[in-house]
Amino acid sequence: MITKVVVAAAGQGVRMKELSCDKSKHLIEVEKKPFLAHLLDNVVEAGYKEIFLVVGFKENLMKQFVEDYMAKKPGDYKIKIISQFEILGPKDVAYGTACPIKCAKEFIGNENFISIAGDNFYSVRDLKMMGELSDDVNYVAGIFNETPERFGVLVGKSLSTVQDSNDTDFLEKIVEKPSEFVGNLINISFYKFTPEIFEKVNIIEKSSRGEYEITDAVSLLAREKKVKIKKINDFWMDFGRPEDVEKMKEILSKNK
């Protein structure tokens, strides 16, 4: 099984409004502990031993969180803090979803690894499933969604719209917030990467948003037939708005 996972948690989360004024959204409490603690609980339970937490906004608070978390949850794992702003510069210099991958290169080495968003929630079973992909192919995880026009849609030959399929399929392209229907299998910021990703994140340019997008790097690999789609089995949640605090409580209640 893959043992290394990169957790992207450098952002503030301004859509959380006043909840993220003095701390990043990853540290907003849900059921008496930070959201990020719930995510890491699942990562550790899924069997990952080396967790690389890429931080930026209020880095001192994230460091304290890690100290507290490891003290409360001893075990056969370790968490390494990586400072994105220290490595790449402040947000106005380099920012975007590809940046955590750039920062993690020296720690990953020549191994396969998992990459997840620190403000997204995934099940233990799905985290474990991705970690058991032992081939030398990159994977992007997806889930079917009723409003795909709000997300990046994963397009393959068979998996884009077939909800009962458990097969993998080569990724053809990712269509961001499509104005016309191209499928309803959406990108959930959950990847299994080979070291090939490091070359691609170093050659992509800033997007129209002025950010370095991991999807641009994934698209370069997809053109070379080096990326497959993997449909997750359970659930996914993006923790991004104030109302998501209550939604997260519901998910935790249902999956105890």
Give the chain's domains with CATH numbers.
4-135+188-227+235-254 (3.90.550.10)
User: For 25-33, what is the mean pLDDT?
Assistant: 97
Q: Which of 144, 142, 147, 178 minimizes the C-alpha distance to 162?
A: 144
Which one is predicted more confidently, 157 or 24? 24
Q: What is the pLDDT of residue 255?
A: 84
Task: Detail the DSSP E strand segments found in 56-156.
Answer: 78-83, 113-117, 120-122, 138-144, 152-156
Give the end-to-end CA distance of the chain in Å, rounded to a whole number. 25
User: For 19-40, what is the mean pLDDT?
Assistant: 97
Mean pLDDT over the full length of the chain:
94
Residues 6+ apart with CB under 8 A from 12: 20, 24, 25, 57, 58
Q: What is the pLDDT of residue 141?
A: 97
**What are 146-189's pLDDT values in tens digits?**
999 999 999 997 655 545 444 568 999 999 999 999 999 999 99
Residues 6+ apart with CB under 8 A from 123: 42, 232, 233, 234, 235, 255
**What are 191-248's pLDDT values in tens digits?**
999 999 999 999 999 999 999 999 999 999 999 999 999 999 999 999 999 999 999 9
